[in-house]
Amino acid sequence: MTRLAVLSDIHGNADALTAVLADMLAFSPDLMINLGDVLSGPLDPMGTAALLEGVPNLTVMGNHDRWLLDPARRNKGWEAWTYPKLDRMTLGWVAGLPTGLVIEDVMACHGTPRSDTTYWLETVGTDGEVHRADPAAIAAEIEGRPQRLYLCGHTHRARVVRLDDGRMVINPGSVGLPAFDDDTPRPHRVCAGSPHASYMILDRQGDDWAVTHRLVPYDTARMIGLAQAAGAKDWAQALETGWVDKPAVG
């Protein structure tokens, strides 16, 4: 396993995923790893599931995938759009996703190895923006774990972090939703700043990995139309610009 394609946070954006899969063909990766939050959002969850069915990949479960399985959660928030559109086979596929994977010396998870809702490489500031996390706190999440490379998603922020001991933690950014706002633990936004679909190609170089960050353009019109039809103005803005408005803070 020398070349990995790593993607995350597709969030039902089938057209972004189509563009990423086409872009990926030129790299002929040995393995495609998908870090979760696959379907949730006001876009095209069944189209997304069909695309993933057609390509070999290893997928881990994200918090939004888990919430689709939870009767107490799946009728709220982004899942309220998504759950009614899913057929039983697709829900069964979601239910079978692992929360983490170890392949050779690589570990894949959604948030951190211990939590699918924790921001691993970012912290939420009092200014309503996210900032880089303390390297000691990043290392603490994988204390005692033997793998050399850790793959995470969840924050939609593409990052490569090298720890003091040479281990790496990499987030490929989001395929399908380049910006969002949230109110936990306090109001904040995360913005990639461009509408491209984000993913990464990783090439093993001895004990290390070379990283190619791909920002793939695609025609966002259909997805923006779906978001608008669902009344999701923040999604439409994010898909068009890579930004959402800064939440009121303080």
Q: Which residues bind Fe ion (CB under 5 A)?
A: 37, 62-63, 154
Comparing CA positions, the residue from 185, 187, 126, 115 lying closest to residue 153 is: 115
Helix (H) or strand (E) holding 23: helix 14-25
**At closest approach, how far in Å is the CB of 116 from Fe ion?**
6
**At closest approach, how far in Å is the CB of 9 from Fe ion?**
6
**At closest approach, how far in Å is the CB of 34 from Fe ion?**
12
Question: ∠ CA(29), CA(193), CA(137), 5° rounding?
Answer: 70
**At closest approach, how far in Å is the CB of 229 from Fe ion?**
24
Q: Which is nearer to Fe ion, 63 or 194 (CB)?
A: 63
Q: Which is nearer to Fe ion, 120 or 209 (CB)?
A: 120
Q: Which is nearer to Fe ion, 37 or 44 (CB)?
A: 37
DSSP for 155-209, written as a single string:
S---EEEE-TTS-EEEE---SS-SEEEE-SSSSEEEE-SS--EEEEEEEEETTEE
Q: Which is nearer to Fe ion, 154 or 167 (CB)?
A: 154
Tell me the CA end-to-end span of the chain in Å, nearest whole number. 48
Tell me 36's DSSP state. S
**At closest approach, how far in Å is the CB of 2 from Fe ion?**
28
Report d(CA 242, CA 190) in Å as an integer: 9
Q: Which is nearer to Fe ion, 154 or 157 (CB)?
A: 154
Tell me 121's DSSP state. S
